[in-house]
A and B are shown apart, each in its own frame.
Chain A
Amino acid sequence: MSLTILHCADVHLETTFPETRGGAARRKALGDAFVRIVDEALRRNADVLTIGGDLYESERASPQTFRFICDQLARFGKPAYIAPGNHDPFGPGSLLNRSDLPPNVRVFNEAAWKAFPLDEGVTLWGFGHTPAEPGRPFASTRFDRGGVQLALVHGSDEARCPPNKRVTAPFTTSEVVVSGASLLLAGHYHGGYVVSQSGRPVFAYPGSPEPIRFGEGTGHGALAITLDGSSIEVRSVATARTRLVDLSCDLGGVTHEHAAFERIMPVLAGCGVEDYVRLRLTGVVAEGTRLDRALIEDHFATSLGSLEIIDETRSHDYESIAREPTVRGHVVRDLLALSRQENSDEASVAEAALRYAVAAFEGTEVAP
């Protein structure tokens, strides 16, 4: 018995990209990535395609989205199993609830484990999201069919939840092991990874096929799972063509705009049109140095996917101003103290307030 499965998740068709420009291009890149996944499945002659949720975002799904999904899944032709996620839950208006889905598509349409035999001695258990939050999918779950039991779910590995990531259908490694699942094919985290125990993979996230948000990890693609008897092999298949790049440029000591451009240029040198860059400018520049954010973005963005500048430079030595026996000195002292507080909200407001107060005292432009 040998079975090849291609697993992907978190394609997030029709998602939005408010952090960068070029949202339409990036949405197209997501669709292209899914096409590449199907291509890869065909190339590898995969027997099954599994999708671990968030194939699309239901709140923005349009007829075109459905046609695209149908085309790709029909193109694959072999069984495709979908466990809906929190962004594409199975419900009355869901695309996955349409009667005109290709006949090779099976959808896990409830928040409970359902089994599909994939081959002799191989069972696929699936757990779908519905509009209601599903709870812990592995709580008191025992897969008892024997043989190789694969589980497919869109959920959160509690031990490795990235910052600011919503927890949904949580589980732990031990819960997966105790359930009797040979391998959990998961979705939800956009940075892919495989968790193994005693040399055997326990669960695996393929990651999103293209990066979607800054800071979500590096693994973006699909997973090729090969079952041969009782042995399970998991391999990553990279699909991402775009990158989300978070860069920083120290403009300390810069005294004029030209010098600032010269400092920025080498920092962006390694980036291309598939890179969506967020560049943070830091350091103390000379007083009166013009740093036009829009100009910098326009200048460098032509050779990039997009560029967003976060200007955190300052043109004053706040510490020395704070020592002045003047109102300005007192104000800077107060705001510096506030900006160093642990309350990040108030601290960030105070940091901005400090910049604006000094600019106002200096008579320079106060602008957001």
Chain B
Amino acid sequence: MKLRELEIHGFGKLCERRLSFDPNFTVVYGANEAGKSTLTRAIVASLFGVGRKEQRETNRPWAGARYATTLRYELDDGRSFEVQRDFENDPKSVCVYDENGRDVSSELAIEKTVCPGQTHLGFPVEVFLNAACITQGAAHIDGARAERISTALARALDGGPREDAALGAMRRLEEALASHVGTKRATINAPLKRLNEEVEAAEKQAAEVRARIRGLDDLRAKLEAEMRRRAELETALAEHDRKARSLRAQSLRSRLDALHEIREDTAALHAQYAEYEDVADFPSGRIAEVEDLFRTWETAEALALSAMQIADDSRMTPALEGELSERMRDGGALSDAAFAALQAAGAEATDARIKATFAASHVQGSRRSIEGGNELFGAWFAAGGIVAVLALLLGIFHQWLPALLSAGLSVAFFFLAWKRWNRRHESLGVIAKMQQAADAATAIERAAAARVAAFLEPLGVPSIEELFRRRERARELTERKATAKRNAERAANARAAAQVAARAFDQRAHQFVPRSGSRAQDLEAVRLRDSRRSARDGIELRLSMLEVRRNDVLADDDEFGLQSELDELLASGVQPSGITGSQRVFEAERAAMQRSGGDSRTAVAALEAELRTAEGQFADLAGLDERVLMLSKRVAALEAFERAVAMARQKIEERTREAHQKFARRLTDYASRTFDDVTSGRYLDVRVDPTTLAVRVRVPETGAIVDVDRLSGGTAEQAYFVVRLAMVRMFAEGLETTPVILDDPFVHWDDQRIGRTLPILKSAARKGQIILLTLSENLASAAAAAGARRIDLGEPARPSRNGSQHAGLRAV
């Protein structure tokens, strides 16, 4: 595609302009605010539309001119088109005419939108902006658009539309998977999941039916067991009946035997009973009373004898009576108070005598001490005198030290003599006092002794001790006399009681037996009669018991009836055997067995009914299994579909990736060659990532491959610039020549770089179309000198305040 002419009726600051482009190289010169960028946007908008409302409003003409453009271009195959866009009301309003004036808009529609740029160039606007449209300071490639750019490049490389179809194919495969299989997360549209659930439900249903069939086996086993039990019960009942009849016969025979035995026993007892007629009147149960009375009498008699013996032993003899009279005349006559006074006088005399003896002894001892002291005093005094004389002599002979020692010793002897003297004096005092005390005690003794003697002499008792002994004897005899009296009274009482008891026994015993003269014999006679009476009572009791037993054996039957029944049983062949157990127990057992048999029959009937009902209620298990298998088959088909689609998708992806790798190699090749020229051989190696379109270069100093954004801003812009030119070249080779619009991309470049770039632009312009917009007069001149058509935009446009409209297009 080569742009031939752009008519701008109104677009941003530009209005009523007509620009004719050179088919190869055009340079548009204009100062700042002259409308260079607006022109770039007008070209893009003419080709691809303006997009969103905000963007449309940004480019609305300032001067109120009609918001419209007309672009004419020519394709590589020689076809020419005119694109008329009216942005006023509808951003999508566009008419495209071919060189014959035919409206071909509908032929250029892509999904209801007429987009001549995308249709004829083969890629969308974002690819155009990131490849062929380089604006000031924005040479880098937008990574977010990498996928679309890559697609376009891959298409260019393949020379057809199939790459785009690959993306669509993958999308369609995913849609098919989502629609027919369902995604893993899908809950509503998830056919595979639903099928699996259906399979699971059908399997569950089949498993339930199988479980019920297994349950039938259990039910059948139960029924068989119950039927066996019923048969066993019936057999057992028959056997039981046989045993019961046998037992009945045995029971009848034993009852009849028992009745016979009772009858015989009764006759024998009646005979015995007659022998005890003599005690018929003897009252039963009185023997205990008689025996009690006998024991009472026996005890009372023993007590009376014992009391008499004691009374006899304690009786006062005449000697003892005489002694008591004598004692009562001496010691026994003395009152206790008089005796106490006598004892006190005795004690006082004794005490005074002891004191007098002590004082006399003490006086005697003191006298002996004084005598010894006198001798010691003399010795001490003499020794002192001798030593004093010695001291004097030694002093005379001026023997001072011995004299002094002798003098000291003499003093010591004199001191000891003085001490002994003092003690003698004190002892003499004590002796005097003790003597006085001894004298006083002696006087007291004499007085007391006189009082005692005065008391004892009339009684004829020699001493107080003798008096005391006689008094004790008198008391002892008195007490014995009192005891003898009490014992005599007790013996009399015991005898009286024994006589009463004897009378009581005699009175009772002689009611039953005649008097024999001996109470013991009487008692034995009573006992004998009582025992006979007991025997008679025993026979009576046994007769009663036999009667009771007879009644028990007969119960409500009569003996003849029993005999008839037994005869019948025996006649029918029943043998009374040795079966143990009672008829009643047997009957209870039979009733229980009949109940069990009835229960078993009911259980069998119930189980049979249950089995019949259960057997008639089964779903078609084969049908259920078949459904499971058919659903599983559908699941398998879907899974196979999933696998096949996954394989198809994987292959498409692999091949798409390969295509990307191919364009990346060619892009790298083209870019590296150009970058070499632009940087004068400094950078030889440019690499482009096919997925992200990230550009990296090899740094000559380190040899490392680094991201281009880590280099200087100018170098990075150069790198992006050459990569974009390489893209455009690839588009031209594979799709359609793409016009390159350079909106002052070199504003930050130095002259040397620009100088090196111009030949590249010139070279690129030979194969395609370059539209360079610049504010640099030098660059514009240089480009013009290199063969570019120069267009001057002139003075910056001023927005019209009154909104006046230009009369017509102004050709530039």
Report whether chain A binds chain B.
yes
Binding site for B on A (CB under 8 A): 14-18, 23-24, 27, 57, 59-64, 92-93, 98-99, 324-331, 334-335, 338, 348-350, 352-357, 359-361, 363, 365-368
Q: Are B214 and A331 in contact (CB under 8 A)?
A: no
Bound CA span A335–B655, Å: 12
Which one of B162, B216, B616 contacts A326 once the chains associate, using CB atoms below 8 Å?
Answer: B162
Pick the contact of A361 from B166, B210, B659 — CB < 8 Å? B166
Task: A85 to B655: give the CA distance in the assembly, Å.
Answer: 54
Residues on A with C-beta less than 8 A from B622 are 14-16, 23, 27, 57, 60
**Bound-state Cα–Cα, A304 to B166, Å:** 43
Closest to A14 in B: B622
Contact with A along B649-674 (1 / 0, CB 8 A): 00110111011000000000000000
**Do A360 and B637 form a contact, CB below 8 Å, given A327-B659, A353-B644?**
no
> 15 A-B pairs, CB-CB below 8 angstroms?
A16-B629, A61-B213, A62-B213, A63-B213, A93-B217, A327-B652, A327-B655, A328-B162, A338-B647, A354-B648, A356-B641, A357-B173, A360-B170, A360-B176, A361-B165
Query: For residue B705, which residues in chain A have a CB less than 8 angstroms away from its CB?
Result: none
Contact indicator B630/A18 (Cβ below 8 Å): yes
In the complex, which residues of chain A have a beta carbon less than 8 angstroms from the beta carbon of B169? 328, 357, 360-361
CB of B618 within 8 Å of the partner chain: yes
Q: A98-B220, A363-B165 are in contact. List 12 more A-B contacts (CB 8 A).
A: A18-B630, A63-B615, A63-B618, A64-B615, A99-B224, A326-B162, A352-B641, A355-B644, A357-B173, A357-B652, A360-B172, A368-B640
Complex CA–CA separation, A326 to B216 (angstroms): 67
Which residues of chain B have a CB within 8 Å of any CB of chain A? 154, 158-160, 162-163, 165-166, 168-170, 172-173, 175-176, 180, 210, 213-214, 216-217, 220, 224, 615-616, 618, 620-623, 625-626, 629-630, 632-633, 637-638, 640-641, 643-645, 647-648, 651-652, 654-656, 658-659
- CB neighbours of B643 from chain A (8 A): 349, 353
Output the nearest chain A residue to B206 by Cβ-Cβ distance.
Answer: A60
Given contacts A18-B629, A93-B214, A357-B169, contact A350 B655 (CB under 8 A): no
Q: Are the C-beta atoms of A331 and B652 separated by less than 8 Å?
A: yes
Interface contact A331-B163, CB-CB below 8 Å = no
The answer to whether B637 and A368 have CB atoms under 8 Å apart is yes
**With A18-B630, A360-B172: A335-B158 Cβ-Cβ less than 8 Å:** no
Q: Complex formed: what's the CA distance from A325 to B155 in Å? A: 11
CA distance A8 to B659 in the complex (A): 65
Residue from A23, A61, A329, A354 with most neighbouring chain B CB atoms (10 Å): A23
Residue ID in chain B nearest A93 by CB atoms: B217
> By the criterion CB–CB under 8 Å, are B655 and A331 in contact?
yes
Kindly list chain B residues whose C-beta atoms are within 8 Å of the C-beta of A326: 158, 160, 162-163, 165
Nearest-Cβ distance from residue B649 to partner chain A, whole angstroms: 8
Bound together, the chains give a CA A194 to CA B270 distance in angstroms of 107
User: B621 contacts A328, CB within 8 Å?
Assistant: no
> Contact: B647 with A349, CB < 8 Å?
yes
A356→B650 CA distance, assembly (Å): 12
CB-CB nearest in chain B for A351: B644
Are A349 and B640 in contact, CB atoms less than 8 angstroms apart?
Answer: yes
Closest to B164 in A: A327
Most chain A beta-carbon contacts within 10 A, residue among B166, B170, B618, B622: B622
Contact B172 A325 (CB under 8 A): no
Report yes or no: B644 in contact with A23, Cβ–Cβ below 8 A: no
Indicate if the CB atoms of A62 and B655 lie closer than 8 Å: no
B residues in contact with A335, CB < 8 Å: 647-648, 651
Nearest-neighbor residue (CB-CB) of B643 within chain A: A349
Contact, CB under 8 Å: B648 / A331: yes
Residues of A near B644 (CB, < 8 A) are 349-350, 352-353, 355-356
Nearest chain B CB to A201 CB, angstrom units = 34
B176–A366 contact, CB under 8 A?
Answer: yes
- Chain B's closest residue to A361 (CB) is B169
B651 touches A368 (CB 8 A): no
Q: Which residues of B contact A99 (CB under 8 A)?
A: 224
The answer to whether B656 touches A327 (Cβ under 8 A) is yes
Residues of B within 8 A of A63 (CB): 213, 216, 615-616, 618
Please tell me which one of the listed residues B160, B621, B647 contacts residue A60 in the complex, with CB atoms under 8 A apart.
Answer: B621
Decide: B623 and A357 in contact? CB cutoff 8 A. Answer: no
- Give complex CA distance A366, B175 in Å: 9
**Complex alpha-carbon distance, A354 and B214, angstroms:** 49
Give Cα A246–Cα B655 distance, bound, in whole angstroms. 39
Q: Which of B158, B160, B638, B652 contacts A368 (CB 8 A)?
A: B638
Between A60, A98, A99, A324, the greatest number of chain B beta carbons within 10 A of the residue's beta carbon is seen for A60
Asked if A356 contacts B216 (CB within 8 A), the reply is: no
Residues of B with C-beta under 8 A to A353: 643-645, 647-648, 651
User: Do A356 and B648 contact each other (CB < 8 Å), given the known contacts A328-B165, A363-B172?
Assistant: yes
CB-defined contacts of B623 to chain A, threshold 8 Å: 23-24
Measured CB to CB, the closest approach of chain A to B374, in angstroms, equals 147
Q: Which of A24, A325, A367 contacts B159 (CB 8 A)?
A: A325
Q: Report the bound CA distance from A328 to B638 in whole Å.
A: 24
A350 in complex: contacting residue of B647, B656, B658, CB < 8 Å: B647
Contact A325 B158 (CB under 8 A): yes
| In the bound complex, CA of A353 to CA of B655 (Å) | 15
- B224: A residues at CB distance < 8 A: 99
Q: Closest A-chain residue to B168, C-beta based? A: A363
CB distance from A50 to the nearest CB of B (A): 25
Contacts of B160 in A (CB 8 A): 324-326
Q: How many angstroms from the CA of A115 to the CA of B773 in the assembled complex? A: 110
Of A27, A60, A367, the residue contacting B180 (CB under 8 A) is A367
Instruction: List residues of chain B with CB within 8 A of the CB of A327.
Output: 154, 158, 162-163, 165-166, 652, 655-656, 659
Contact call A64/B645, Cβ cutoff below 8 A: no
**Complex CA distance for A328 and B656, rounded to whole angstroms:** 9
B631–chain A nearest beta-carbon distance, Å: 9
Contacts A14-B622, A324-B162, A328-B165; A59 near B629 (Cβ below 8 A): no
Query: Contact between A14 and B626 (Cβ–Cβ < 8 Å)?
Result: no
Contacts of A338 in B (CB 8 A): 647
* Least Cβ–Cβ distance between B730 and chain A, in angstroms: 16
Question: Which residues of A lie under 8 Å from residue B641 when comparing CB positions?
Answer: 352, 356, 368
Query: Bound complex: CA of A134 vs CA of B652, how far in Å?
Result: 52
A368 touches B655 (CB 8 A): no
How close is A330's CB to chain B, nearest CB, in angstroms?
A: 4
Whole-angstrom CA separation of A327 from B660 in the bound complex = 11
Residues of B within 8 A of A14 (CB): 621-622
Cα–Cα distance between A64 and B643 once the two chains are bound (Å): 43
CA distance in complex: A24, B623 (Å)? 7
Asked if B629 and A352 sit within 8 Å, CB to CB, the answer is no
User: Residue on A with the closest CB to B191?
Assistant: A368
> Could you say which residues of chain B place their CB within 8 Å of the CB of A17?
626
When the two chains form their complex, are residues A360 and B621 in contact, meaning their CB atoms are under 8 A apart? Answer: no
B632 contacts across to A, CB distance below 8 A: 18
